């Protein structure tokens, strides 16, 4: 490489990418651990495709795309949660419909207005050069709100993930908590797409958690190890992306997959 | 009237066109150990779900601790061990201690967790992952979870399904201890008549309607079993 590794800190765009990346690396597995435990990993992929439609709406109307993505994915999330309670439609079909529906709407909107294809590319796969100051502030403020909410309702979410009926009998407002959780998931997905990209955020929510689960720890320690794996993946991924000129989102996910592979081999 | 823990008046339930429960009247008094039995599809689990407020009855009234269920808020007074307690996802990353702590929901009272685990003699497994334990041990952990909020009523739905007979014996010893020494009212639903009649103080048998209510020994003497399960059923009483 020949370049000084510290030169990365000279560039404000890189500092913003690192700061945003660190926040996302903490948020993704915190949301992801409940998704994986409830076998609902596909929800993150579904919401990310829906948020792409939100991005397209934002770009088309000239509104801040992260904001439109958050609004659209939260609305879709609430609708998915409502439909999950419907006995006539299976959860899987609901997710499949929203996933392809979100993508379809995005594609239609993109074809309506030509000219923002390059912008859209960075939302699809993430980029280290495109994190703006307003992105960073949005990620920071909403990130803190998500973290505080999860820590307030940690035990309630754990109870529902482990035993939903039991949580109901214990008097927990399960319906409300499920909607709150999907709103947090939708927001995290939308926040993460600047760095990791819409198509890959699901992976950052799932792979660190699945890696940590193999270590057979308590729920709390599995969560800490997931955050550590996610953090290391994002940092290595962003540095590699800068020095080797690779797509940020893809590199981050590949690093997390390598960590998953190492843990799997060591556990055998 | 004694302290009524559960009271059902003319409870009916229908699933689509299928009548599941018909005019069920039931009273459970404080410190009672009540067994509810009935063949598969007799409405046992539905009845339990109505008592626990998980589904509303079609009509009829349900009282918990002498309050109409719609106004009942003290859910920590009820400990519940669901039918599929031990059928959780085996990859779920959770330790025995964490499972039990879910039972004392709004506090993190380590003493209560330790106490609940020592009652079911599972204290030394605190830090183990629950999926690493045997079915019988897991079931005891779920009782500890139900005990964590110091409940006055313990409700168990088919708790011994898939558990070997040695563990079952231990399990019923623990229930009996809770009932006699801790004065906890117990409601146990099971299809395993042979064991249940030996353990409970009062027996209720339902088959959509209330078929029998009274002493377990009387139930064996009469020909209810034949009516319910058909002729030729061999009835074995397990002794301790």
ipTM confidence score = 0.84
B240 inside domain: no
Q: Which CATH number goes with the domain that contains B29?
A: 3.40.50.300
pLDDT of residue A117: 65
Q: Please, what's the b/e burial string for A7-46 (b: 16 or more CB within 10 A of its CB; e: otherwise)? A: ebeeeeebebbbebbbbbbbbbbbbbbbbbbbebbbbbbb
Report yes or no: A213 at the B interface, CB cutoff 8 Å: yes
Rounded CA separation A177/B190 (Å): 32
Closest CA to A55 of A64, A45, A43, A46: A64
- Cβ atoms A229, A29 nearer than 8 A: yes
B238 inside domain: no
Task: Report the share of chain B in percent with pLDDT over 90.
Answer: 30
Which of A29, A33, A163 to probe by mutation at the B interface, max B CB count within 10 Å?
A: A163
Residue B11 has pLDDT above 90, yes or no: yes
B239 inside domain: no
Rounded CA separation B226/A183 (Å): 55
Residue B237 vs residue A5, higher pLDDT: A5
Contacts of A163 in chain B (CB under 8 A): 82, 85, 88, 102
If you measure CA to CA, which chain B residue comes closest to A171?
B75
pLDDT of residue A147: 96
B157 inside domain: yes
How many folded domains does chain B comprise? 1
Contacts of A152 in chain B (CB under 8 A): none
pLDDT of residue B240: 41
Which of B50, B53, B92 to probe by mutation at the A interface, max A CB count within 10 Å?
A: B92
Domains annotated for chain A, with CATH where assigned, are: 2-267 (1.10.3470.10)
Q: Do B88 and A171 touch (CB under 8 A)?
A: no
Average model confidence (pLDDT) across chain B: 84
B36 inside domain: yes
| pTM of this structure | 0.84
Minimum-distance CB partner of A216 among B52, B129, B149 = B129
Residue B65 vs residue B135, higher pLDDT: B65
Counts for chain B of helices (H) and strands (E), in that order: 8, 10
Rounded CA separation B174/B130 (Å): 19
Report yes or no: B93 at the A interface, CB cutoff 8 Å: yes
Least confident of A209-213, B14-18, B44-48, B86-90: B86-90
Q: Which long-range contacts (CB under 8 A, 24 or more apart) does A254-257 make?
A: A256/A203, A256/A204, A256/A207, A256/A208, A256/A211, A256/A229, A256/A230, A257/A203, A257/A207
Residue B41 has pLDDT above 50, yes or no: yes
Identify the DSSP state of A201: H
pLDDT of residue A188: 93
DSSP calls for A11-40: -HHHHHHHHHHHHHHHHHHHHHHHHHHTT-
B235 inside domain: no
Sorting pLDDT into bands at 50, 70 and 90, what band is B231?
A: low
- Cβ atoms A112, A60 nearer than 8 A: yes
Range of the domain at B43: 4-229
| Residue carrying the six token digits 């249940």 | B196
Q: Do A216 and B93 touch (CB under 8 A)?
A: yes
- What is the mean pLDDT, run by run of 10 residues, along chain A of 268 residues? 71 88 94 89 90 90 90 93 79 89 90 70 78 90 96 93 86 91 93 84 92 94 97 93 86 94 91
Which tokens hold the place of A55? 């991005």
B87 inside domain: yes
């Amino acid at each position: 490489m020949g370049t000084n590794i510290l030169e990365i800190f000279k560039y404000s765009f890189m500092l913003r990418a690192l700061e945003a990346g660190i926040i996302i690396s903490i948020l993704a597995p915190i949301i992801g651990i409940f998704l994986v435990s409830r076998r609902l990993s596909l929800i993150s992929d579904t919401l990310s495709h829906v948020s792409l439609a939100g991005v397209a709406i934002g770009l088309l109307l000239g509104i801040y795309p992260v904001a439109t993505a958050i609004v659209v994915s939260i609305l879709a999330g609430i609708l998915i949660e409502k439909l999950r309670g419907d006995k006539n439609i299976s959860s899987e079909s609901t997710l499949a419909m929203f996933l392809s529906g979100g993508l379809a709407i995005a594609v239609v909107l993109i074809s309506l207005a030509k000219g923002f294809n390059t912008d859209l590319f960075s939302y699809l796969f993430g980029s280290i050069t495109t994190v703006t100051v307003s992105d960073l502030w949005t990620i920071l403020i909403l990130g803190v709100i998500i973290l505080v909410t999860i820590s307030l309702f940690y035990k309630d979410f754990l109870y529902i993930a482990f035993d939903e009926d039991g949580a109901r009998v214990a008097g927990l407002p399960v319906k409300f908590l499920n909607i709150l959780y999907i709103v947090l998931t939708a927001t995290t997905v939308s926040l993460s797409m600047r760095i990791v990209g819409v198509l890959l955020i699901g992976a950052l929510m799932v792979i660190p958690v699945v890696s940590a689960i193999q270590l057979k720890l308590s729920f709390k320690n599995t969560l800490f190890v997931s955050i550590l794996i996610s953090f290391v993946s994002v940092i290595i991924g962003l540095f590699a992306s800068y020095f080797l000129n690779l797509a940020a989102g893809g590199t981050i996910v590949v690093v997390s997959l390598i960590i998953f592979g190492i843990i799997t081999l060591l556990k055998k | 009237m004694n302290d009524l823990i559960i009271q059902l008046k003319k409870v009916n339930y229908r699933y689509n066109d299928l009548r599941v429960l018909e005019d069920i009247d039931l009273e459970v008094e404080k410190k009672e150990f009540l067994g509810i039995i009935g063949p598969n599809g007799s409405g046992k689990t539905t009845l339990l779900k109505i008592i626990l407020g998980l589904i509303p009855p079609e009509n009829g009234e349900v009282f918990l601790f002498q309050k109409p269920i719609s106004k009942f808020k003290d859910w920590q007074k009820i400990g519940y061990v669901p039918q599929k307690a031990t059928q959780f996802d085996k990859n779920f990353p959770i330790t025995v201690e964490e499972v039990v702590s879910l039972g004392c929901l709004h506090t993190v009272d380590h003493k209560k967790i330790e106490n609940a685990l020592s009652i079911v003699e599972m204290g030394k497994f605190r830090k183990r992952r629950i999926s690493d334990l045997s079915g019988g041990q897991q079931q005891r952990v779920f009782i500890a979870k139900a005990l964590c909020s110091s409940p006055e009523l313990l409700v168990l739905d088919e708790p011994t399904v898939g558990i070997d007979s040695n563990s079952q014996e231990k399990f019923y010893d623990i229930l009996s201890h809770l009932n006699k020494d801790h004065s906890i009212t117990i409601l146990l639903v099971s299809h395993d008549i042979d064991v249940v009649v030996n353990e409970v103080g009062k027996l209720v048998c339902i088959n959509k309607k209330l078929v029998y209510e009274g002493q377990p020994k009387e139930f064996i003497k009469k020909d209810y079993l034949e009516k319910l399960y058909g002729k030729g059923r061999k009835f074995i009483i397990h002794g301790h």
